[in-house]
Structure 1
Amino acid sequence: MGKRKRLAKRLSYVPRRSARENTFGKVTELNEPLSNEERNLLSVAYKNVVGARRSSWRVISSIEQKTSADGNEKKIEMVRAYREKIEKELEAVCQDVLSLLDNYLIKNCSETQYESKVFYLKMKGDYYRYLAEVATGEKRATVVESSEKAYSEAHEISKEHMQPTHPIRLGLALNYSVFYYEIQNAPEQACHLAKTAFDDAIAELDTLNEDSYKDSTLIMQLLRDNLTLWTSDQQDDDGGEGNN
């Protein structure tokens, strides 16, 4: 196993920020583009770390709402303090990733590395979206704008240089549409983007690479599931979370 691959796999076991920074520092010191496997390992490792915080934040926010209704000031303050602690941890992880993307991964992509460029810009959109989930006021407006900018750039590149059935292009469409639905509260745009991506992929199923068949069809199913959910929600005037 190569040095970078060993370092990348270590990330799965280093949830502490100092340990992640140390490991990533060693990865980036090599100053070479990451392989597809290394890129995926780093992405999954950070998604696991931030995913735990996102889940915790959702749970504690729900508890905070119920506690506020009870009117117990001491409990309200305790729950609020814990929510703020989780928010700081989540923000720290997101900033780690965004710094890595801007200062190394995106920066080091060549003009013809379209797949890597789309992959990293999608990640950038994702982590700004995660920040938007917990931000408020002007801070939220800023990260929402940054998220859309990254998604939009990735979307344009993917449409020009990648097959509609490519799993990275499909994954981008999935997350970009979730951004429109959950963050921008724009269900029509979300449904249009998801439906277009799904229909374009269906029309070119014969171009589907055997190696990526499983990944592509899974994402297509998630796009279809979201479309079904969102269409139903619009009809029922209910909210709903998409798959992302």
Structure 2
Amino acid sequence: MPAKGRDSYVVKAQLSEAAGRYDEMVEDVRDMVTALPKNNCLTEDERNLLAVAFKNEVGVRRRALKSLQKIFSSTKIVNPSRTKEFHDYKANILSELEFLCNDLIWMLDSKLLPAVKEPIDDIFYHKMKADYFRYLAEVEEDEQKSADYIEKAKENYAGATEVSQNGLAATHPLRIGLAMNYSVFMKEMLGITKEARDHAKRFYDEALDELESVREVDESRYSECAYLLKLLHENINVWSLELGDLKTPSKEF
């Protein structure tokens, strides 16, 4: 793909992001990925644009479905005679979410993962693939399909985690974010609270041991790490209480 064309897609995606028009941003990054020559990789900035676009478009639909579920539980809001309209509206949002998730997974499988050359790309894309299989599993009503999505998410989380342990520093934000998402998946989708807590605690403790050394050389990366570690620590504390573990689960900042 000529550099000029590729640059054009990037600029359009950046403008869409700045304007908060994430539906257009998804189209821009889709064009950017689709036009990639075989075995060509996205740059870090392009990769992040892809993540931002789909995170926002899928995220708004995940939140919408959760809100609709709460609304449906309230007979004061949804008249029983209007349940068909409600379910039709919900089905439209669900269809949009499934299309977006499957679209991104297709891009990962057909374009991005086959071109991976660096561990960080491998981790990033497998984490992303796991996340979007998890989102599909969250809304899938067919038990077998949901189980298949859960298994695929687990495989990708596990694979990304294995690479991250050798390919990234303990304080790398991607490694910490992966640990957080995988542990949440264990808790919410697999129902294994102790394993989720222990997984989160392991990566939290490893990162915390090296955090001050990051602060000395990169203040912005330190701030990002600290933010993610606080979120991880909150989950560890909540899950420890659920398990009846009253001991301090991890060191604090």
Q: Which of the five TM-score ranges fits, normalised by the shorter chain?
A: 0.7 to 0.9
Match of 1:59 in 2: 67
The structure with the largest alpha-carbon Rg is 2
Cα pair 1:8 1:27 within 8 Å, conserved: no
The letter for the 1-side match of 2:177 is G
CA distance in 2, matches of 1:156, 1:9: 33
Runs of 4+ in 1 over 6 A off after TM superposition: none
Normalised by the length of structure 1, the TM-score is 0.86
Aligned residues: 231
Q: Structure 2: give runs of 5+ residues left out of the alignment.
A: 246-253
Matches within 5 A, 1:1-244: 2-9=7-14, 12=17, 13-15=21-23, 20-21=26-27, 23-31=29-37, 32-67=40-75, 72-110=79-117, 113-136=118-141, 137-208=143-214, 210=218, 211-235=220-244
Q: Can you list the C-alpha shifts for 1:66-95, whole angstroms capped at 9, x where unaligned?
A: 34x999542332222222221111101101
Equivalent position amino acid for 1:120 in 2: Y
Q: Residue 44 of structure 1 aligns to which amino acid in structure 2?
A: V
- The worse-fitting range, judged by mean Cα deviation, of 90-99 and 26-35 is 26-35
1:100-127 CA distances to partner (integer Å, 9 max, x unpaired)?
Answer: 11111111102xx001110111000100
Alpha-carbon distance in 2 for matches of 1:183, 1:141: 10
Structure 1 position 153, deviation (Å): 0.3
TM-score, with normalisation over the residues of structure 2?
0.83
Contact 2:29 2:50 in 1 (8 A): no
1:127-179 Cα deviation digits (max 9, x unpaired) = 01111110121110010001001100000000111111110000100100110
Distance 1:47 1:28, change over 3 A: same
Amino acid at match of 1:187: T
CA contact (8 A) 1:10 1:23 kept: no
Q: CA-atom RMSD, angstroms?
A: 2.4
Gaps of 5+ in 1: 237-244
Q: What is the percentage of aligned positions where both structures have the same residue?
A: 34
Instruction: Give CA deviations for 1:14-51 in whole Å, capped at 9, x if unaligned.
Output: 516xx845652344313331111111111011100000
Contact 2:29 2:53 in 1 (8 A): no
For the residues of structure 2 that align with 1:140 and 1:27, how far apart are their CA atoms? Answer: 28
Corresponding letter in the other structure for 1:109: V
Give the SS at the match of 1:5.
helix
CA contact (8 A) 2:13 2:28 kept: no
